[in-house]
Structure 1
Amino acid sequence: MNHYIKSIVFLLTIGFTSCFPKKEEKTTNPTKPKLVIGIVVDQMRYDYLTRFEKKYGDGGFKRLLKNGFSLENAHFNYIPTYTAVGHTSVFTGTTPSHHGIIGNNWYDKFEKKSIYCVDDNNYKTVGNEGNGGKKSPYRMLTTTVTDQLKLAQNMQGKTIGIGIKDRSAILPAGHTANGAYWFDGGSKGQWISSSFYMDALPKWVADFNNSGVADEYLKQPWETLYDISTYTESIADDNNYENTFKGEEKPTFPHDIPNLRSKNNNYSIIKAIPAGNSLTTDFAKAAIIGENLGKGEFTDFLTLSYSSTDYVGHQFGVDSKEIQDTYLRFDKELESLLLFLDKQVGKDNYTIFLTADHAAVQVPSYLQSVKIPANYLSSGKLLNYVNSITKQYFNSEDFIENISNFQIFLNKENIEKKKLSVEKVAEVINENIINYKGIYKSVTAKTLQRTEFNKGILNHLQNGYNQKFSGDVLLIPNPSTIIYSKKGSTHGSGYSYDTHVPIIFYGNGITKGSSKKHYEIIDIAPTVSNLLEIEFPNGSSGKIVDEIFK
């Protein structure tokens, strides 16, 4: 009888519950990754993914794209698109208007001098007796996703920052990192750090420095990975748009690195060849093993910046055989790193995002050769023109304190001595500078404070404007117009060639797919924060990319 009653109750229960819709199952990832790796490729245009696709192997970019989630229409949403600004914006989830890093170098209107984003004389070099380690992230005013992870875990878990460039190692790792390491070139050839993080290098770093790896890479000439005749996606190797290494007659393959080394600042040459990326991968693997990343109870974070791509792009330009070879070799680096992570951390235990800190313009002199509008500006001539404006209207040529990063800083003391309004002087310059050939738009700081630009390039300018640190008049040059040498390439604008970069998520918690929706670089940090179920960085202004989640 008891069995019969139980059966009736069971059937009634089924009938009762079937009257109601099923509760939607929660789709969040049940286990968080043990290790997050944030990869920033310095000066990577989005079209490097598509342009060189046929020559990539299956284990690098293609593996990430096939098994991860790619944002195909992702952009930076501010000006200027420089290295320090890019790395900071990726990890803080906000723009220079909030995080305060407005350039690599910028004119400090309080100290009356040009400053470097991570210089800090309160600390000393750890690793050698040089000055390369007098650094810290103190100029970055907001937290990073790496900081938020440490806070959420009650300061447990490890954060390690790695990059050949100091700013690329320091800023992503945040204020609470266990360590940040960068490569000290010249005669040193060592990975170093700052006393901001530690008093002495860990044994694994010292062992790596003593291993002679850097020297081994510099014993080999830089030759193309594949037959150079197959590099049909790039322009002729011998052209007039590329810079040579010191000691070279032509900017062509092969580059005799062993013999060029002494004329190109010794160990520093490794930064400007693909071997610099290989050295970075080697050091990252040593860090993962040495720090036991991904092995503990808490989630660890490795920020990893590949900078040789930027040095090569600056020297040879985005259409060169050198940049193509650098990316084909970098594809191999990615494959090596992914296989290492599979074995060392476990396939299901890590999450990666890969992006860039900015893209780059095609060499303007090359664009001119194919009849595309492009130009060069002279910083000296620009300063003379601005002085001519103040001379004409105010009979003074000492109103300009500094012009840099397409920003004009006014000398407020000299203006006030003439009993003039700073705002009035700025407005007169603004109205007249637009007549200068190559300047497309000009906006005063006051306009940016009083007007909200919701879209377009003026919105980018506004997002990059910081009321406390930025200049009094901000300029936008014409497309493909730069202040730079006529050989090699650069970046910094708000145009798509500088803003359009890859964003790929891969690994634990990430679904497969792609999106053509417009996303911004500041969306990465809140998205990773959501994956880790932690608070967003405290200045975050991005949104969650919910398409990427399983």
Structure 2
Amino acid sequence: MAKYLIPALALAATFGAHAAPAKQPAQPKLVLVMAVDGLPQEQVTRYRHQFAQGGFRRLLEQGAWFSNAHQAHGITVTAVGHAAILSGAYPYQHGIIGNNWVNPVNGGSMYCTEDTAHKYLNNEKTDPHDGTSPANLRVDTLGDQLRYATGQQSKVITVSGKDRGAILLGGKTGTAYMYMEESGNFSSSTFYMQEHPQWVQKYQAGKPQERYYGVKWKPLLADSAYAGDYGDAPNLQLASDSGKTDAAYYKKLKASPFLDELTVEFAQAAIEGENLGKNPAGVPDLLGVSFSAHDLANHEHGPESKVSHDHLLRLDRMLANFFSYLDKRIGMDNVLVVLTADHGFPNTPEFSSGVQKTGAQRVDSKKLVEDLNAHLNAKFGLEKGLRAQSIPNLHLDYAQIDAKGLKREEVENAAARFILAQNGVADVFTRTQMENGGNGGGTRIATLMRRAWNRQISGDLMVVLKPHWIFGFSSGKGTTHGAPYAYDTNVPLIVMGKPWVKSGHYGQYAEVVDIAPTLAHLLNVRPPAGAEGRVLTEALK
């Protein structure tokens, strides 16, 4: 990378013999990008006083912490958020509009990272909709640009408990490893290689996932530390009916904080196996780590729960150990660290309604679709006027509408008016509005939804519920995310690296899409093609 620096003699000739060039800090040897799945900024602030030394506390005190940072798109789910982190792009460009969406070719379901041309290695079970490649990602990433700029000498490795977490961080030219629910291994796919390298084989042979069998997840701290939280304390027994390690056990393991322990352990094996941070070509490497278990805890219990609280405290201690390892292995002054999240989380509707007095409820999406179809049939004679749905996207049967000589816009508007009259619905955006640049009065919500809409694959109607209301979960337990409101968009964004970053608490508005251009600026490489974020210059030395 030194070839990009202006020689000192040239500076002297230009500015005079006495002008001393500003000293350029050495580039990081390792860029570590971490995403905590489903971590709202609010939880970092609320539990800050209980963080130990070395984990989140180290990031907050030694890093540049943007507390007003947002995943600035409308459909705030795992795949969309992970795609934004290192592409710097919004969904209308990067093409990842949800975890799943409607396949425009056959009307079936499309999973964000599915690719039937590839399968998992080592005979791991691969279903048609399993995530095996970044084929659906329509843009490049920071890792792709780094590898291009260094003649493919920089290594880009990503690991996650979820396939989409690893694959979408890894971009087109990185190498992704993901947790296998059937075996408890971390595996890659044939998109990346035909056989695991020796270090992965050695790691798998050690079977670290077996050591948690029979372990019970209990609270880390005394009961008084969780005062004010809701629900029961963690009480998960990691075992199975068979009495041995099997698929049932590995799925339980995925829902525990021990999944994140395994993720860190595998990341450390990758650092040593690939010699990350000690690249013989003298160029930076990139390691992406996505922690998946917090999302599962919040889904099941809500961010107001004792379970979610305890999980975050455990993750804090894991980060402290990870940073200590990096200190010894590479030296943290050689590591540029980013921590963010793919989305936040709302409280459970029962908590929101009962404690916060919001009146929030759950909306039955299946009933909404059935009622809308009945309305379109009665008004226009359409038989199943909705041909498919992947909430919040609804797809109209335009072929049937055209065959009946109806105007598409008229049907869209009638459908939108019907949906708007339903309990809990705040807004509906139609295809005609989106294609004609309609902005819903210029509201921020409308801007976020437009960013989330992709002309080729998004729905003909996009539904936005009122704040704190959620789709589904008719059991009355748990919660979900995906809204354009602050509780789902406001996520932590922390950049740490003493040679490059000015530590401090920054209240300026920032977006997750700012990460990629900021890293590109520090690494002297092109930003990814779809990047629309800004360089966070206020936090850079």
Normalization by structure 1: what TM-score? 0.90
Match of 1:496 among 480, 486, 504: 486
The answer to whether the aligner puts 1:367 opposite 2:352 as a matched pair is: yes
1:72–1:502: 8 Å Cα contact kept in structure 2?
yes
Shift of 1:124: 2.2
The answer to whether the aligner puts 1:412 opposite 2:398 as a matched pair is: yes
Tell me the residue number matched to 1:469.
457
Q: Distance in 2 between matches of 1:525 and 1:315?
A: 32
Q: Identify if the C-alpha distance between structure 1 residues 505 and 27 changes in structure 2 by more than 3 Å, giving closer, same or farther.
A: farther
1:312–1:322: 8 Å Cα contact kept in structure 2?
yes
Q: Distance in 2 between matches of 1:318 and 1:56?
A: 17
Higher gyration radius (CA):
1
Tell me the residue number matched to 1:8.
none
Report percent identity of matched pairs: 34
Q: Distance in 2 between matches of 1:182 and 1:87?
A: 14
2:470–2:479: 8 Å Cα contact kept in structure 1?
no
2:240–2:249: 8 Å Cα contact kept in structure 1?
no
The answer to whether the aligner puts 1:258 opposite 2:254 as a matched pair is: no
1:86–1:357: 8 Å Cα contact kept in structure 2?
yes
2:340–2:491: 8 Å Cα contact kept in structure 1?
yes
Match of 1:295 among 273, 278, 293: 278
Q: Identify if the C-alpha distance between structure 1 residues 429 and 55 changes in structure 2 by more than 3 Å, giving closer, same or farther.
A: same
Q: Identify if the C-alpha distance between structure 1 residues 26 and 537 changes in structure 2 by more than 3 Å, giving closer, same or farther.
A: farther
Match of 1:432 among 418, 424, 428: 418
Tell me the residue number matched to 2:194.
199
Aligned-residue Cα RMSD (Å) equals 2.1
Shift of 1:315: 1.0
Tell me the residue number matched to 2:538.
547
Shift of 1:520: 1.2
Q: Distance in 2 between matches of 1:503 and 1:261?
A: 43
Q: Secondary structure at the match of 2:193?
A: coil
Q: Secondary structure at the match of 1:354?
A: strand
2:100–2:390: 8 Å Cα contact kept in structure 1?
no
Q: Secondary structure at the match of 1:265?
A: helix
1:161–1:181: 8 Å Cα contact kept in structure 2?
yes
Tell me the residue number matched to 2:8.
none
Q: Distance in 1 between matches of 2:287 and 2:73?
A: 26
Give CA-to-partner distance per residue, 1:430-482, whole Å, 9 cap, x none: 23321111111111111122225354111110010111111111111111111
Q: Distance in 1 between matches of 2:131 and 2:402?
A: 37
1:52–1:233: 8 Å Cα contact kept in structure 2?
no
Tell me the residue number matched to 2:159.
162
**Bigger mean CA offset, 52-61 vs 414-423:** 414-423
1:69–1:513: 8 Å Cα contact kept in structure 2?
yes
Give CA-to-partner distance per residue, 1:163-213, whole Å, 9 cap, x none: 010010111111011x21001113x12111111111111111111112121
Shift of 1:403: 2.2
Superposed, 1:322-401 pairs within 5 Å as 322-370=307-355, 371-401=357-387
**Bigger mean CA offset, 489-498 vs 210-219:** 210-219
Q: Distance in 2 between matches of 1:380 and 1:337?
A: 44
Shift of 1:260: 7.0
Give CA-to-partner distance per residue, 1:383-410, whole Å, 9 cap, x none: 1221133123202232211122212101
Shift of 1:326: 0.4
Shift of 1:547: 1.3
Q: Distance in 1 between matches of 2:165 and 2:434?
A: 29
Match of 2:139 among 142, 145, 170: 142
Shift of 1:527: 0.7
Give CA-to-partner distance per residue, 1:266-291, whole Å, 9 cap, x none: 21111111111111111111110110
Give CA-to-partner distance per residue, 1:341-390, whole Å, 9 cap, x none: 11111122110100000011100012222222211101121012211331
Q: Identify if the C-alpha distance between structure 1 residues 261 and 444 changes in structure 2 by more than 3 Å, giving closer, same or farther.
A: farther
Shift of 1:492: 0.3
Q: Identify if the C-alpha distance between structure 1 residues 330 and 268 changes in structure 2 by more than 3 Å, giving closer, same or farther.
A: same
Q: Identify if the C-alpha distance between structure 1 residues 316 and 261 changes in structure 2 by more than 3 Å, giving closer, same or farther.
A: farther
2:240–2:248: 8 Å Cα contact kept in structure 1?
no
1:220–1:257: 8 Å Cα contact kept in structure 2?
yes
Q: Identify if the C-alpha distance between structure 1 residues 27 and 228 changes in structure 2 by more than 3 Å, giving closer, same or farther.
A: farther
Q: What are structure 2's unaligned runs of at least 5 residues?
A: 1-14
Tell me the residue number matched to 2:12.
none
Equivalent residues, number:
516
Q: Identify if the C-alpha distance between structure 1 residues 351 and 462 changes in structure 2 by more than 3 Å, giving closer, same or farther.
A: same
Q: Secondary structure at the match of 1:206?
A: helix
Tell me the residue number matched to 1:481.
469
Q: Distance in 2 between matches of 1:261 and 1:300?
A: 43
Shift of 1:261: 8.5
Normalization by structure 2: what TM-score? 0.91
1:80–1:405: 8 Å Cα contact kept in structure 2?
no
